[in-house]
Amino acid sequence: MTTVRALGLVAAGAAAVSIGVSAAPAQAATSYVALGDSYSSGTGTRSYIADGTACQRSTYAYPSLLAASKGLTLNFRACSGATVADVTNTQLSALSSSTTHVTLSVGGNDAGFADVLTECAMPGWASNCNGAIDAAQSFVNNVLPGRLSTLYTSVRSKAPNAKVVIVGYPRIFMGEDCNAFTWFSPAEETRLNAMADLLNSKTSSAAAAKGFSFANPTSRFIGHAVCDDVEWLNGLSDPVSESYHPNRPGHASGYAPTVSTPLTGSAFSLTAATSQKAALSADRLAAQQRTYAVRDASITPKEFRAPDLSTAEVKAAAARAGVDLSSRASIDKADRVWSERQAR
């Protein structure tokens, strides 16, 4: 009797262990939704997933690298050209109460930053760079904060349990223009960098008001701007859509470390294993994002446009400035005179 009873207790215990193991809930994958514009999608890295959109999502972008490094399951909704309205209308549906991590960069397109860069890249005698910057600054000071506040409220409502990190913009320039077919003056570059600082300031304040973290990439990108010895930001590029965006090192060494600690509580450094894991996620991400392709088609690309000196407006400006458009020396000389006036 004792032996039989003991065997019965052992069998019962084994059954209990078996039941306990089978009944234990599977650990849910950590859900990370990356929202925003081209600075989050990966425009500038020159390699994009085949998701049937013009969003230019890259496995070299910081959301993909962070997901691979930290074991997060990524829904990669960030899309080149996105404004606050685009994020609201096409991206927020990816959020839910089960979302655990969210990153978001947006605001530069609302301020028309690509158009401002386009204007300022022209020779000074043929453009109104200061006027374009003034208009953008007014928008960022007076309109953008309200838009961001409304958006951030929606993010928190749709993802009540998520850690949310709002991501800023780097300073693009280092004070000189080394590209052959753009004419940014030192004074213009200083003002454009100040524009990035203003965007970050207003975005950071709006984020803090909602209890969100803010990841500011400014300090990490110092020494790696356009025309620095080691660029983390593209200058004028071919294709032109790659221009003035973070390249692969910009995401791996600039953005990913900046965002990682506030988002995950741990530091980031790129490894071969992380790079491989991110690359292998391309097919899954592409299939996932194809389901959103109709929505993403509503987003209008906002791209820098290379200077065009053949237009009627430029020809008229050249005539007023005494510039011979058939002579690069004449074009550059007049631009230097313009830049020197700005510096006074």
**Position 86 pLDDT exceeds 80:** yes
**pLDDT value of position 26:** 37
Is the CB of residue 104 less than 8 Å from the CB of residue 155?
A: yes
pTM metric for this prediction: 0.90
% of residues, the chain, pLDDT over 90:
89
**Position 184 pLDDT exceeds 50:** yes
226-238, pLDDT tens digit by residue?
A: 999 999 999 999 9
Compute the average pLDDT of residues 10-14: 35
Amino acid, res. 110: D
d(CA 176, CA 32): 39
Known catalytic residues are: 38, 245
Q: State how far the alpha carbon of 296 is from the alpha carbons of 11, 47, 201, 216, 287, in Å.
A: 58, 19, 29, 27, 14
C-alpha triplet 64, 55, 58: angle, nearest 5° = 25
**Position 157 pLDDT exceeds 60:** yes
Q: State how far the alpha carbon of 95 is from the alpha carbons of 213, 283, 323, in Å.
A: 18, 22, 55
* Tokens representing residue 95 in the block: 């959020």
Q: State how far the alpha carbon of 84 is from the alpha carbons of 36, 89, 258, in Å.
A: 8, 9, 22
239-296, pLDDT tens digit by residue?
A: 999 999 999 999 999 999 999 999 999 999 999 999 999 999 999 999 999 999 999 9
